Structure 1
Amino acid sequence: MASIVVAEDDTDIAELLATVLSNEGHSVRTASTGLDALALIADARPDLIILDHHMPGLSGLDVAARLRAEDPAGSTPVIMLSAAAPAAARGLVDVTISKPVRPKHLIEAARELLATRDAGEHASHDASTQLVDVGRLLAVSDYLTRPAQVAALDAFAEELTRLTGVPMAAITLVLNDSVVLAGSHGLPKWVREAGGVPVEWSPDTIVVSEDVPVLISDSSTSDDEYAGSPLFSISGIRSYASVPLNSAEGHVVGTLCVMDDEPGTCTEDTVQVLHSQRAPAVSLLSRAG
């Protein structure tokens, strides 16, 4: 049995998470704000911490940053729950889980992190592991070798900009070293002419490695890792949202993403619109010419 602190401001969700984890034999205490979570964590010294990102006062990201400042080694594993994972969370938490939360997913993540902690190992998630997964790369290669649907995919990207109200959009396929444009609208000319960007320049690395959406409201203030990359620094991208595209076998083969050079354009509503377009995007990628 483990001691777990759950920080979640929605009482119904907090009760659900507590019940699910208690049924697994864990002792669970809950907090409804970031400040309450910090006080409870200091008192309970839990084996695992679960943080909702959006909470009154201090956000889950703020709480995670304070915990990491106090414990740089990250000896207590942290799970973050969010409709769209903030890119900055990557260096502060062990696992991000998309909301709405699937109980089975949460239980499996908790079990893995607790087992790693009990073994005295530090849980870390290396994005490159998923990027070079052979099964995933074969699935991406299958899409890349199909007859091109460039015009249709470009039209789909243009429709994404209309649906989201964000001026730039792309459908990508992600290899181990590059993010390839399958279709796009409004992107900078140099990105279109290159056909994509290196993986280290794009937050899509997080989307693929963790199978979660990513939301950057303002790269100049919320995301140090990508603010200096050419995609952001040269093109002036400030706001970014991306969701995973999964093959029929479940591999994350690419993304739907939108971006803007104005901050604050991409929101959680943007992420929800992108989610609604995943199935038609995969269908279009799969269509033989």
Structure 2
Amino acid sequence: MASIVIAEDDRDIAELLKTVLSNAGHAVRTAPDGAAALDLIVHDSPDLVILDHHMPGMSGLEVADRLRAEASTHDIPVIMLSAATPAAARQLCDVTISKPVRPKHLLEAATELLEAREAHPGTAAQLADVPRLLAVSDFLTRPAQAAGLDAFAQQLAVLTGVPTAAITLMLNDSAVVAGSYGLPKWVREAGGVPAEWSPDAIVVAEDVPVLIGDSRVSDEYADTPLFAVSGVRSYASVPLHSPEGHVVGTLCVMDEAPGTCTEETVQILHSQRSAALGLLSPVGPAPADA
């Protein structure tokens, strides 16, 4: 059972959503506006928040912005409901759902977010670690050459025999693509993906490699957007460390075919970490791999 707060000014819709989620076993409280929702959230520390966007006084977007600005509420998963979702909502909310809301769709989204939170309860806090983020920022502000990183990613694809490769830098809420080869156009144009979309969030938060032979038989990753939307079946990723030892990003490869990524793939990725860091920080020497 999870604790959920719903902010919705339409009483009938609020009661419908409460009934759907309560029938699924969750403890649900509702608020008629943004200010009341903030009071409930601070008091209850819920596992999930569901926000209507257009509410009197304070919009759902303003509530989400305040939640992300406070350390005590920063990591609470947020779903936004709106007939016209504002662009900024995708930066502040984990999921956006168009109105009119289908109860089944809402329940599926809520279940996925709650299961992810339960499976990796410390991931968000570890990604938000300030010294780690400062180290990531240091790499982002260095004069690395995108063309060189893209060429390195192409070489990585050749070395591993896997058609798609990327060098990422992991912020608290997104995986930024520093260099890539074979990634879908929409990922390249966006510059990356939300952190929760990718196993790289686990790689960075837990400082461990991830190897997925076939996402369709993985209970943990099968429904995550990277696999469900992009059709990726095979995946391997290893952490990249700053000279001070902070995990700042990853080297990763992926394929739409199952079984392409193996233990040997992971070893090849490990062997290429120093070269990748040298390209990310051309103003100084790359640290030696552990």
The TM-score range, normalised by the shorter chain, is 0.5 to 0.7
Report the Cα distance in structure 1 between the residues aligned to 2:208 and 2:224, rounded to whole angstroms. 21
Q: For residues 279 and 148 of structure 1, do their structure 2 counterparts lie closer, same or farther at Cα, with a shift above 3 Å needed? A: closer
Report the Cα distance in structure 2 between the residues aligned to 1:269 and 1:230, rounded to whole angstroms. 26
| Alignment pair present for 1:126 and 2:144 | no
Report the Cα distance in structure 2 between the residues aligned to 1:147 and 1:280, rounded to whole angstroms. 16
Q: State the identity as a percent.
A: 73
Matches within 5 A, 1:180-259: 180-222=176-218, 224-259=219-254
The alpha-carbon deviation at position 125 of structure 1 amounts to 5.5
The one-letter amino acid of 1:194's match is: A
Report the Cα distance in structure 1 between the residues aligned to 2:137 and 2:148, rounded to whole angstroms. 20
Matches within 5 A, 1:4-43: none
Residue 161 (structure 2) aligns with:
165
| Alignment pair present for 1:147 and 2:137 | no
Report the Cα distance in structure 1 between the residues aligned to 2:244 and 2:203, rounded to whole angstroms. 17
| Alignment pair present for 1:270 and 2:269 | no
Structure number with the bigger relative contact order (C-alpha 8 A, sep ≥ 6) is 1
Once the two structures are superposed, residues 20-51 of structure 1 have per-residue CA deviations (whole angstroms, 9 ceiling, x without a partner) of xxxxxxxxxxxxxxxxxxxxxxxxxxxxxxxx
The alpha-carbon deviation at position 234 of structure 1 amounts to 1.5
Structure 1 contact 161–258 (Cα < 8 Å) conserved: yes
Rg (Cα) greater in structure: 2
Question: How does the TM-score come out when normalised to structure 2?
Answer: 0.56
The one-letter amino acid of 2:245's match is: G
The alpha-carbon deviation at position 225 of structure 1 amounts to 3.1
The one-letter amino acid of 1:285's match is: L
Greater than 4 Å deviation, 4+ residue runs: none
Residue 137 (structure 1) aligns with:
133
Structure 1 contact 172–256 (Cα < 8 Å) conserved: yes
The one-letter amino acid of 1:235's match is: S
Report the Cα distance in structure 1 between the residues aligned to 2:143 and 2:245, rounded to whole angstroms. 22
Structure 1 contact 215–266 (Cα < 8 Å) conserved: yes
Report the Cα distance in structure 2 between the residues aligned to 1:125 and 1:212, rounded to whole angstroms. 16
Report the Cα distance in structure 2 between the residues aligned to 1:232 and 1:249, rounded to whole angstroms. 33
Match of 2:280 among 276, 282, 285: 285
The one-letter amino acid of 2:184's match is: P
Once the two structures are superposed, residues 55-99 of structure 1 have per-residue CA deviations (whole angstroms, 9 ceiling, x without a partner) of xxxxxxxxxxxxxxxxxxxxxxxxxxxxxxxxxxx99xx9xxxxx
Report the Cα distance in structure 2 between the residues aligned to 1:281 and 1:272, rounded to whole angstroms. 15
Alignment partner of 2:166: what SS?
strand
Report the Cα distance in structure 2 between the residues aligned to 1:175 and 1:288, rounded to whole angstroms. 22
Once the two structures are superposed, residues 205-234 of structure 1 have per-residue CA deviations (whole angstroms, 9 ceiling, x without a partner) of 110111010000000002x33222221111
Once the two structures are superposed, residues 174-203 of structure 1 have per-residue CA deviations (whole angstroms, 9 ceiling, x without a partner) of 000000000000011111111100000000
Structure 2 contact 204–239 (Cα < 8 Å) conserved: yes
Report the Cα distance in structure 2 between the residues aligned to 1:157 and 1:227, rounded to whole angstroms. 25
The alpha-carbon deviation at position 288 of structure 1 amounts to 3.8
Report the Cα distance in structure 2 between the residues aligned to 1:192 and 1:239, rounded to whole angstroms. 20
Q: Where does the alignment leave 5 or more consecutive residues of structure 2 unmatched?
A: 1-114, 285-290
Report the Cα distance in structure 2 between the residues aligned to 1:187 and 1:228, rounded to whole angstroms. 19
The alpha-carbon deviation at position 148 of structure 1 amounts to 3.6
Structure 1 contact 239–262 (Cα < 8 Å) conserved: yes
Once the two structures are superposed, residues 112-154 of structure 1 have per-residue CA deviations (whole angstroms, 9 ceiling, x without a partner) of xxxxxxxxxxxx8511121010000000001111124100000
Structure 1 contact 181–195 (Cα < 8 Å) conserved: yes
Structure 1 contact 201–226 (Cα < 8 Å) conserved: no
Structure 2 contact 233–257 (Cα < 8 Å) conserved: yes
Q: Once superposed, what is the RMSD of the aligned Cα atoms?
A: 2.1
The one-letter amino acid of 1:271's match is: V
Q: Where does the alignment leave 5 or more consecutive residues of structure 1 unmatched?
A: 1-89, 95-123
Residue 47 (structure 1) aligns with:
none
